[in-house]
Amino acid sequence: MNNILCIIPARCGSKGIKKKNIIDICGLPLIAYSIKDACKLKQEGLISNVIVSTDCKEVADIAQKYGASVPFLRPSELSGDDAKSIDFILHALDYFEQKGESYDSVLLLQPTSPIRGFDVLKASIDMFNESDEDSLISCYKEEYVNDLVMYHKDGAHLKPLNKLHNKAVRRQQHGESYVRNGSIYLTKSNYLLETKQIISDTPLFIEMSKLDSINIDTLEDVEMLRNTLCK
């Protein structure tokens, strides 16, 4: 069994939606959904620790209310718009290393992708534990959107990504793609430390539905999430 640290990131700043990580979704702050999922994993013995990495006292108080640990406030240099996820992950691993605690793997649960379900999380961890792979990500299957229907903007015109874009290729001939949905990232700690990357070149994947892959980035996403969860 892997010794897994779950990190839920939630910085103060947000360009698009003010206090995005703690906005009300059906009576709960957004971050609470991820915390509840993670705490259940811990209760079942599937992970070892659940922390929220934040630079915000308000977020920290809410996180602790719902059962997560907030052992530190994230430094400001790791909390700006340009901060990368790998940086706060390595910061957390280093924090625990300084205290004599080490973890085999890190489970990253972004609060902005809250629809997971315990069964999907458990299946992800079981799959990862039974493999020798360095990382696992969650995805949804996309059977329409691909380079045959995609273009770059070129001044007042569009430049196709695929030269067959206007050859009447039927949808059934497009082929399927798997799109990373941002909900689950699971990575071995030694891979994180050695490569400074969260996703390996050939990650394992767990498939989720497209409906469950809502990622909060705009107010329209918030309404879609509320319409999905507030039933």
Structure tokens at 197: 């990357």
Q: Is 6's pLDDT higher than 90?
A: yes
Kindly indicate the confidence band of residue 38, based on its pLDDT and cuts at 50, 70 and 90.
very high
Determine what percent of the chain is predicted with pLDDT higher than 70: 92
Selection from 113, 71, 76, 77 nearest residue 93 by Cα: 71
Phi, psi (deg, nearest 5) at residue 223: -65, -40
| pLDDT at 87 (0 to 100) | 93
| pLDDT at 171 (0 to 100) | 58
Q: Is 196's pLDDT higher than 90?
A: yes
* Model pLDDT for residues 47-99, shown as the tens digit of each residue: 999 999 999 899 999 999 999 999 999 987 777 777 789 999 999 999 999 99
Phi, psi (deg, nearest 5) at residue 7: -115, 125
Q: Is 174's pLDDT higher than 70?
A: no
* Domains, the chain, ordered by start: 4-140+179-229 (3.90.550.10)
The overall average pLDDT reported for the chain is 89
* Model pLDDT for residues 105-137, shown as the tens digit of each residue: 999 999 999 998 899 999 999 999 999 999 999
Structure tokens at 131: 């493999």
- pLDDT, mean of residues 32-44: 96
Single-letter residue type at 200? S
| pLDDT at 35 (0 to 100) | 97
Q: Which residues contact 213 (CB under 8 A, 6 or more apart)?
A: 113, 115, 138, 140, 179, 181, 182, 183
The pTM (predicted TM-score) of the whole model is 0.88
Q: Is 172's pLDDT higher than 70?
A: no
- pLDDT, mean of residues 150-176: 74
| pLDDT at 168 (0 to 100) | 66
User: Which SS3 state, helix, strand or coil, does residue 182 take?
Assistant: strand
Q: Can you say whether the dihedral through the CA atoms of 62, 68, 69, 72 is positive or negative?
A: negative
Q: Whole-angstrom Cα distance, residue 20 to residue 159?
A: 35
